[in-house]
Structure 1
Amino acid sequence: MHNSVRRVFVGVALSLSLQTPLISLVQAAPNEQFVPLATYRVGPYASSGIPWWAGTLDYLRYINEVEGGINGVKIAWQECETEWSTDRIVECYERYKNGKDGAPVAFFLTHSTPASYALMEKGAADKIPLIDPAGGRTESSDGRVFPYAFPLLLTYYGQASVGINYIAQREGGFDKLKGKKIVTVYHDSSYGRETQAAIELLANKYGFENIQIPVAHPGNEQSVQWRQVRQLQPDWVFLRTWGVSTPVAIKTAARFGFPVDRIIGDVWAGSEADVIPAGPAAKGYQALAPFPGGDSFEIHQRLREHILNKGKSDLKDLSYFGKVYYNIGLVNAAIVVEALRAGQAHFGHRPLNGEEGRWAFEHLNVDEQRLKQIGFSGLLQPLQVTCADHEGGGAARVQQWDGEKWVLVSDWIQADRETLQPLIEAKSAAYAQEKGITPRHCQAER
């Protein structure tokens, strides 16, 4: 076994051996910003959660210890071990939505599409922003109807569009999609089903055949699905799995003879934890990458100096440093820190509550100059969020696994917002009618 592979497996095994919930790392105080963290370091999705939360916590420590907090306001956090269970994430939300020890909550990171669905009405009623970058309910990008939901960076409709746009590039143009057969193998949850309406719309526009094949949680056995894929003989497979179901899909596809370089994973099926366990079968596999792997970005140099080299990293296995999920954790933490900074510029240098947190995220504007200042240039695309647009961003690149590392194989590919927006607005309007919501007039508010 390759040494890097062994290190990843050892790190996961050690982390999975921890069966008790992790406790608070920083005690909250009234003059601190409290951040509840619904983590999942054990269970079937731990291979994603372990590096993800390490990236988040390393950046929050960096902000506290190197920068002295956000304008002097320190960040306090409390972990809830959820094993990515929706019920447990909801319990964590209920436990900490009112803050801790006098420190208020400005937002709640769901990091789970099923949990974002489950908490949608609660977050709106409690006026707590639900933050789920590259996840969540797609139509909640319409901030007029969903003022307290933020599926930032790249919605699932956007991911579907980027994937189809990339396939069109590979096939030689959108006109070449007509008659093609594209199968989506998806995690049978609200996360996995989220792209179905968008892909149906794009199939009607471009004339390709759209076939959807579900995989039951957690996805440890997929012979039935990939036997069906072999019988269908599609041109491409869009893989929308998560956790252990992704390497199982890759290995099973290889066993049934489907070429791995005709599989494109979505954002949550494109990390080292998804390909290393699949072994040689993963070589050539591709996935969407709204943020790349790698540890050569400026922020990594700062973290090495101030966090890793001083033994303060949350990582138990430092081989995870700079891996895709670690970097996602960094990006998520940077986004919320920059939002809090925007909010403090308006409300004063103090902790923010949920209503103020909503205003902060709706005025988040991280341009290229700011990305350079915070060390994220090249790691995060510029992001501008508004009252009406709770996505911002809207693009991704495609990366390919060469057997040892991810290699970027495309430039930034923008989602087709012009095509998707009417569908998003129709679904948000239907939600508003169902729930008796009067959409906000965002232009007047800004």
Structure 2
Amino acid sequence: MHATLKRTFVGAFLALSICNTLPAQAATDEQFFPLATYRVGAYASSGIPVWAGMIDYLRYINEVEGGINGVKLVWQECETEWTAEKGIECYERFKNGLNGAPVAVYQPNGAPAAYALADKAAADRISLITLGYGRTEATDGSVFPYNFPVMLTFYSEASAFINYVAEREGGLDKLKGKKIATVYHDSAYGRETQGPLKLLAEKYGFENIQIPVADPGNEQSAQWRQVRQLKPDWVFLRTWGVSTPVAIKTAARFGFPVERIVGDIWASSDEDVLPAGSAGKGYLALTPYPGGAGFEIHKRIKEHILDKGKSDLKDPKSFGSVYYNSGLVNAAIAVEAIRAGQEKFGKRPLEGDEGRWGLEHLNIDAARLETIGFLGLMQPLKLSCNDHEGGGAAKVQQWDGGQWKLITDWVQADRQTLRPLIEAKSAEYAREKSVTPRDCGAES
């Protein structure tokens, strides 16, 4: 072979080899946001406004801010119907990115998928963000490096509920002898608060009553007949989708006062109370992302997205609903995690481990919340290797028949009391899976 031709051939071969071994982000200037959605099925009414909030925020980041430090966002939906099986299918479809745009973080958007994907995502080194659902023990990042139940776990939710009830009753010491019933969706999601409520009942002396509702919860006469017979002082409603308005209407039919029912964060939106009609007036609910369209981020999105006809919302009345706002908050956390990761790895698309680093170094303080327009809508959030939850607080809102009214500031969970329970569960998981916990003190 001629020497010049040989050098050209070798050079081309080496160039091709280098291109083939470059990480995915070199092929594109875009960051992929997979959207595991459920626009059909029993839970569609809850999911549709969530996706609108997420997509509107991602579009806002692209069109107003020019992306995350210049990195444009791309997204694609995959229908899960809120099932583990389809949730896994969507994850497998998305985990390698989209047209070269890599995945930095993944939001399974549903407890069934979150549980099913825990081991898969860890093996693929892709972090799951499960805001308000998923494995509470994943708070312990030493055992779950790729699982982030950010802001409000089910354990913290249960504790915030008990602390709110204590406020209403005149103090934690006044809980002794009270009857507190939990009417819950009989699934991994619904059963998740049983452990912390048992612990808190033992600590404060209240009677802990657990009443399951079979999926999807279209008929609840037996459950609310039991509530009427037991006469609890408070009911913690941990339903989901169609089961929430059914619960509210059935409670009213059996004469249980709705102002003594506190819904959890998945039973706390307009879509949960509007179908209940007048029976919902006075209903209470916990939320880490209160309803309302008066926050700064809403003003920005209205101007740049809604008013220009670019919103994903099908019903403009859902703008500012609790679930729409949850979509905003979910998207903002993912965006801020990538922004944090870019501070270390450069202003470019990030891979899974880089996204994990960003999450574990996420620090959204009040000043940052004000800058991005989320002050009041979202609590400050600081994560670390040891703490994959952060915040641990919720506000309580009440339905007045037409809209939600906030009736408390942030109600903080007793995370110190809950932590031993979390560590016991994470240690059990580590033993079962032969996981060697990380040394979080050595992480940087």
The 5-angstrom pairing of residues 149-164 of structure 1 reads 149-164=147-162
Partner of 2:60: 62
- Post-superposition shift, 1:101? 1.1
Partner of 2:423: 425
Instruction: Determine whether 1:361 maps to 2:348.
Output: no
The 5-angstrom pairing of residues 138-153 of structure 1 reads 138-153=136-151
- Post-superposition shift, 1:30? 2.2
- Post-superposition shift, 1:35? 1.3
- Structure 2 CA distance for aligned equivalents of residues 70 and 175 of structure 1: 49
Structure 1 residue matching 2:396: 3-state secondary structure:
strand
Query: Which of residues 49, 52, 67 in structure 1 aligns to 2:50?
Result: 52
Amino-acid identity (%): 72
- Post-superposition shift, 1:316? 1.5
- Structure 1 CA distance for aligned equivalents of residues 246 and 84 of structure 2: 23
- Structure 2 CA distance for aligned equivalents of residues 114 and 76 of structure 1: 25
Structure 1 residue matching 2:398: 3-state secondary structure:
strand
The 5-angstrom pairing of residues 244-263 of structure 1 reads 244-263=242-261
Partner of 2:432: 434
Structure 1 residue matching 2:142: 3-state secondary structure:
coil
**Deviations 1:328-363 (Å, cap 9, x if unpaired)?**
000111111011000111100111111111111001
Partner of 2:394: 396
TM-score of the aligned structures, taking structure 2 as reference length? 0.93
Query: Which of residues 126, 129, 153 in structure 1 aligns to 2:127?
Result: 129
Amino acid at match of 2:120: K
Amino acid at match of 2:372: I
Structure 2 residue matching 1:55: 3-state secondary structure:
helix
- Structure 1 CA distance for aligned equivalents of residues 97 and 129 of structure 2: 16
The 5-angstrom pairing of residues 287-366 of structure 1 reads 287-366=285-364
- Structure 1 CA distance for aligned equivalents of residues 84 and 52 of structure 2: 21
- Structure 1 CA distance for aligned equivalents of residues 108 and 377 of structure 2: 22
Residues paired across the two proteins, number: 419
- Structure 1 CA distance for aligned equivalents of residues 346 and 31 of structure 2: 13
- Structure 2 CA distance for aligned equivalents of residues 82 and 276 of structure 1: 25
The 5-angstrom pairing of residues 234-249 of structure 1 reads 234-249=232-247
Structure 2 residue matching 1:66: 3-state secondary structure:
helix
Amino acid at match of 1:184: T
Amino acid at match of 1:288: L
The 5-angstrom pairing of residues 76-155 of structure 1 reads 76-155=74-153
- Structure 1 CA distance for aligned equivalents of residues 409 and 61 of structure 2: 31
C-alpha RMSD of the superposition: 1.0
**Deviations 1:210-266 (Å, cap 9, x if unpaired)?**
111111111111111111111111111100000000000000000011111110101
Partner of 1:201: 199
Structure 2 residue matching 1:153: 3-state secondary structure:
coil
- Structure 1 CA distance for aligned equivalents of residues 416 and 125 of structure 2: 30
- Post-superposition shift, 1:83? 1.6
- Structure 1 CA distance for aligned equivalents of residues 327 and 88 of structure 2: 21
Structure 1 residue matching 2:47: 3-state secondary structure:
helix
Partner of 1:228: 226
Contact 2:393 2:412 in 1 (8 A): yes
- Structure 2 CA distance for aligned equivalents of residues 243 and 291 of structure 1: 18
- Structure 2 CA distance for aligned equivalents of residues 173 and 66 of structure 1: 47
- Structure 2 CA distance for aligned equivalents of residues 320 and 114 of structure 1: 26
Amino acid at match of 1:49: G
- Structure 1 CA distance for aligned equivalents of residues 378 and 280 of structure 2: 26
- Post-superposition shift, 1:86? 1.6
Deviates more, 1:277-286 or 1:29-38: 29-38
- Structure 1 CA distance for aligned equivalents of residues 251 and 433 of structure 2: 42
Unaligned runs of 5+ in 2: 1-26
- Structure 2 CA distance for aligned equivalents of residues 177 and 321 of structure 1: 38
- Post-superposition shift, 1:108? 1.0
Larger radius of gyration: 2
- Post-superposition shift, 1:112? 1.0
Unaligned runs of 5+ in 1: 1-28
Amino acid at match of 2:346: G
- Structure 2 CA distance for aligned equivalents of residues 289 and 317 of structure 1: 22
